[in-house]
Amino acid sequence: MYIQKILFSGIIITLFMISCSSSDKETQYQTGDLSVKIDTLATGLQNPWGMEFLPDGRILIVERPGNLLIWGDGQLHGDPVSGLPEIWAHGQGGLLDVAMHPDYNENGWLYFAYASPGEGGGNTAIGRGKLHNNQIVEFEKIFQGQPYSSGGAHFGSRIVFDKNNYLFTTIGDRGVMNDAQNLENHRGTVLRIKDDGSIPEDNPFVDEPGAMPEIWSYGHRNIQGMVIHPETGDLWTHEHGPRGGDEINVSIKGENYGWPLATHGINYNGTVITPDTTLPGMVDPILHWTPSIAPCGLDLVTSDKYPQWQGNLMVGALAGQHIHRVVIDGRQVVDTEKLLQGFARFRAIRQGPDGYLYVLTESPGLFFRMIPKE
Calpha distance 54→257 (Å, rounded): 34
pLDDT over 70 (residue 288): yes
Q: What is the pLDDT of residues 134-155, one digit of tens each?
A: 999 999 999 999 999 999 999 9
Please give the pLDDT value at position 26: 57
Active site residue 186: no
Contacts for 51 with CB less than 8 Å, ≥ 6 apart: 59, 60, 61, 62, 98, 348, 350, 358, 360, 367
3-state secondary structure 294-324: CEEEEEECCCCCCHHHCCCEEEEECCCCEEE
Please give the pLDDT value at position 42: 97
pLDDT over 80 (residue 361): yes
Q: Give the least confident one: 4-13, 18-27, 307-316.
A: 4-13
Please give the pLDDT value at position 10: 30
Calpha distance 224→299 (Å, rounded): 12
Q: Considering the candidates 101, 132, 154, 220, report the single residue annotated as catalytic.
A: 154
Give 3 or 329, the one with higher predicted confidence.
329
pLDDT over 70 (residue 55): yes
pLDDT over 80 (residue 97): yes
pLDDT over 60 (residue 15): no
Domains and CATH numbers, the chain: 2-373 (2.120.10.30)
pLDDT over 60 (residue 346): yes
Which run of H or of E encompasses 107?
A: helix 104-107
Instruction: Please state the rounded mean pLDDT for residues 268-292.
Output: 98
Please give the pLDDT value at position 251: 98
Q: Are strands 135-144 and 121-132 parallel, antiparallel or unpaired?
A: antiparallel
In Å, what is the CA distance from 369 to each residue of 24, 183, 185, 299, 359? 16, 40, 39, 14, 6
Other CB atoms within 10 A of residue 205 CB:
19
Please give the pLDDT value at position 79: 95
C-beta separation of 147 from 179 below 8 A? no
Please give the pLDDT value at position 158: 98
pLDDT over 50 (residue 3): no
Q: What is the pLDDT of residues 177-207, one digit of tens each?
A: 999 999 999 999 999 999 999 999 999 999 9
C-beta separation of 74 from 40 below 8 A? no
**pLDDT tier for residue 28 given thresholds of 50, 70 and 90:** confident
Please give the pLDDT value at position 11: 30
Q: What is the pLDDT of residues 226-242, one digit of tens each?
A: 999 999 999 999 999 99
Calpha distance 223→92 (Å, rounded): 12
pTM, full prediction = 0.93
Three-state DSSP at 181 gives helix
Calpha distance 351→39 (Å, rounded): 14
Three-state DSSP at 335 gives strand
